[in-house]
Structure 1
Amino acid sequence: MAAEGIRIVVDDAVVMEALLRLEQRDRSNAINAIGAYLVTATQQRFEREQGPDGRPWQRLSPRTANARIGKTRRGYDHILRVKNRLYSSVKYQADAASLAVGTNVDYAAIQQLGGTIKKPARRQTIYQRYNPKTGDLDQRFVKRSRSNFARHVDVAAHSITIPARPYLGISDEDRAEILEIVADTERRSLAGGGR
């Protein structure tokens, strides 16, 4: 996970008190179990397309849904999971005193928090197919290698607004599970079955 970027701190007195009751070795085991659980819980939020508060993510814009990926239309399904890069990059780092869950993907913060990206004006080359027999120019863009016609176009400055689609954080269910992990670790420790 990147050292820079956004930071969401969860400082829960009940969880911290429960962790402090554990011996150092057991605390480390509990923190690692909590980290593994939170990675899974975060990935489930991607699958359910909802934030830690249970609210559904904003639907994709029609423009995004109609974009092409390969030969097919992107569609409205699988928000933030077309290629699963962000989904599969969620990891945790733990030591005896702290736990961090996050990702080092460069666009992760804007997906979590939302925001506006300002795109400057630019000149770009687009590639198309021209049929010299009929004089028709196919309006779809193609890869350069499949093109027989190229032209330069000016793209005006514009902005793209991305809505917040929070995936990091702790829900009430997560908090209950974290407390259960700590209690389970404590029970094993008291029974002499610590790891």
Structure 2
Amino acid sequence: MPDITIRIDDKPVLDALNRLSRKMGDLSPVLRVIGEELVKSTESRFNSQGPAPDGARWAALSPATLKRKKHSKILTESGHLRGSIRSQLMGTHAVAVGTNRVYGAIHQLGGTAGRGRKVRIPARPYLGISREDSGRIAGIVERYLEGKV
């Protein structure tokens, strides 16, 4: 875990983490809380049917997909993808949030699938840091620095 790696260049989050890093050697306690928060945020995207972390709406399901499925929820067939979202500490200075489901990548990034790669699946980013996530993460770091987390 994870099969997907997304690097985030989020200045407020990186600035807060760099300040924290200068004060402490092992960031794993605060990173664990950040990872949990990002898992909750990702699960919320599934519940609300988007939007992507950048605020873009997820592409609607095609008529053929709607006809085949039992419901109209995007990125939800069995619930396995949503249920597989986890955070994992990567040493003492990083946390990863992702899925071990191989098909998670095509839903995140888009691409072609099926026999002969004839089916085009649009990108529906569900992993990443939204503007709201960024603010929450910076707040977690600040509270941690103040001894409140």
TM-score by length of 2: 0.87
Partner of 2:142: 183
State yes or no: 1:173 paired with 2:132: yes
Residue of structure 2 aligned with 1:87, choices 79, 82, 87: 82
**Higher normalized strand content (fraction of residues):** 1
Residue 19 of structure 2 aligns with an amino acid whose one-letter code is A
- Report the AA paired with residue 88 of structure 2: Q
Deviations along 1:67-106, one digit per CA (max 9) or x if unpaired, are: 15xxxxx232x21123210001000111311111100101
Per the alignment, residue 105 of structure 1 pairs with: 101
Task: Find the counterpart in structure 2 of residue 115 from structure 1.
Answer: 111
Is this contact kept in 2: 1:18–1:179, CA < 8 A?
A: no
Number of corresponding residues: 144
Deviation of residue 118 (structure 1)?
Answer: 5.1
Q: Which residue of 1 aligns with 2:65?
A: 64
**Aligned residue identity for 2:136:** E
* Contact 1:18-1:182 within 8 A present in 2 as well: no
CA contact (8 A) 1:116 1:162 kept: yes
Answering whether residue 37 of structure 2 is matched by residue 37 of structure 1, we say: yes
Equivalent residue for 1:10?
8
Distance 1:17 1:44 in 2: 28
SS in 1 for 2:55: coil
Deviations 1:6-56 (A, max 9, x none): 42112443133233144235x221110000000001111111222001222
Instruction: Give the Cα–Cα distance (whole angstroms) in 2 for the partners of residues 60 and 169 of structure 1.
Output: 21
Do the aligned residues in 1 keep the contact of 2:107 with 2:124 (CA within 8 Å)? yes
1:179 aligns to what SS in structure 2? helix
Q: Structure 1 stretch 11-20 or stretch 165-174: which is displaced more?
A: 11-20
* Contact persistence 1:30–1:182 (CA under 8 A): yes
What secondary structure is seen at the aligned counterpart in 1 of 2:146?
Answer: helix
Specify every segment of 5 or more residues in structure 2 that has no aligned partner in the other structure, as ranges: none
Q: Distance in 2 between matches of 1:113 and 1:160?
A: 14
Residues 17 and 182 of structure 1, relative CA distance in 2, 3 Å threshold: same
Pick the structure with greater CA Rg: 1
RMSD of Structure 2 on Structure 1 (CA): 1.9
Q: Deviations over 1:99-158 (max 9, x none)?
A: 1110010100000011112514xxxxxxxxxxxxxxxxxxxxxxxxxxxxxxxxxxxxx6
CA contact 1:52–1:169 (8 Å) conserved in 2: yes
Identical columns (%):
39
